[in-house]
Amino acid sequence: MAKKDENFRSAGTGRFVTATKAARSPSTTVREAAGKSGSSGPHYRSAISGRYVTTARGKRSPDTTVRES
């Protein structure tokens, strides 16, 4: 069960999805924990590994990465 402060985002659409949907599609969703907002510009996160990737890789793989601003 997801914690109340956890959100899940689809890598394909960029929209938030339910914890149930995220559990069914773990390779194309990213878990985002609520936290303090602050940005150093846009960056990309892999939906498969959860790690940050380079901008070039994020642009090449739009279906499996999420752009975070």
Whether the pTM exceeds 0.85: the reply is no
Which residues partner with 29 through β-bridges? 10
pLDDT of residue 34: 59
pLDDT above 90 coverage of the chain, percent: 9
- Enter the tokens of residue 14: 């960029």
- Enter the tokens of residue 12: 């394909």
In whole angstroms, give the CA distance from residue 61 to residue 30.
14
H helix or E strand, kind and range, residue 58: helix 55-60
Please, what is the Cα angle at 52 between 66 and 69, to 5 degrees? Answer: 50
pLDDT of residue 2: 52
